[in-house]
Amino acid sequence: MFNFNKKKLVRLTLINNESLDYQLIKKSKKTLSLKISENGLVVSAPLFMSEKKINQLVISKIKWIKKKLELIEPQKNKLFIKNRASFDLLGKEIKITLLDGNNKIEWVDENNLKIFFKDQDDQKKLKTFFIKWLKEIALDYFSQRAYEISKLYAIPSNSILLSNAKSRWGTCNSKTEVRINWRLIQADPYVIDYVICHEFAHLTHMNHSRNFWNLVEKLCPNYKLAENYLKNKGFNLYLID
């Protein structure tokens, strides 16, 4: 099987001596698409589209691009686990006290956490240990909320699983399995409820039709507020890893 995908970094000169760096991926496709990742702008273009044409299309979307890039600026300050660092859990700020000891995590109270770790200088291992704990918290919470919502509205949900997706907050399949992005455990509870309800609605309507959105609104009346949260603050949820 041949792989025709080609990648390169491009620096595009803009007006007022500004420039824009983006990753260009050429592949077998018909149209150009733009994606803002935690690392910046990614442009996917047809194999034989000229770079001049690509840059013209990028410039035509420059206002949208700049607005989205501003949202990921905080990504440069990802969580570094240390004494007095903090992270969000269900919309609340949690303070970390880092201590030497056998690897374990304990609650002090609802706003303070103790992390005991033998090798505090190994940030990679420490982060892996912390995220494993956080994923367990996420799965417990998501499963409980999904159970409560499914019982309330008689939705036949099979199981809740965690997702590590970089571009989706939730997915579902024909087996009625629902996957929720574990990073959502940082968000306010109403945002998590919305993503669960969104996927539950897909179990009935595997599309984004008017019937689908009517069902979403029935399950989650404030869904537009939650959508706005994810649109404006969603990138910040990736600060955790």
Say whether pLDDT at 229 is over 90: yes
* DSSP 8-class letter at 14: -
Checking 123-128 for CB contacts under 8 A at 24+ apart, the result is 123/80, 123/81, 126/81, 127/79, 127/81, 127/241
Please give the Cα distance from 224 to 92 (Å, whole number).
21
The CATH fold assigned to 86-240 is Zincin-like (3.30.2010)
Residue 143: CA atoms inside 13 Å, Cβ hemisphere, count? Answer: 11
For 241, the token pair is: 């890893």
Of 29-38, 91-100, 135-144, the poorest mean pLDDT is in 29-38
φ, ψ of residue 233 in degrees (nearest 5) = -125, 0
* pLDDT score at 104: 97
pLDDT computed for residue 3 by the predictor: 47
Q: Of all residues in the chain, what percent carry a pLDDT higher than 70?
A: 95
**Least confident stretch, 1-5, 24-28, 44-48, 127-131:** 1-5
What global pTM score does this model have?
0.73
Whether 4 has a pLDDT exceeding 60, the answer reads no
Output phi, psi for 146, to 5 deg. -65, -40
Find residue 24's DSSP bridge partners: 8, 43
pLDDT, one tens digit per residue, over 140-196 is: 999 999 999 999 999 887 789 999 987 799 999 888 899 999 999 999 999 999 999
| Residues whose CB is less than 8 angstroms from the CB of residue 124 and which lie 6 or more positions away in sequence, other chains included | none
Q: Are 162 and 134 in contact (CB under 8 A)?
A: no
Ranked by mean pLDDT, the top range of 8-17, 29-38, 96-105 is 96-105
Instruction: Count how many Cα atoms sit within 13 Å of the Cα of residue 224 in the half-sphere of its side chain.
Output: 4
- Among 211, 177, 209, smallest CA distance to 196 is for 177
49-87 pLDDT per residue, tens: 999 999 999 999 999 998 888 776 655 568 899 999 999
Domain locations in the chain as residue ranges? 6-71, 86-240
Measured in degrees and rounded to the nearest 5, phi and psi for residue 220 equal -145, 85
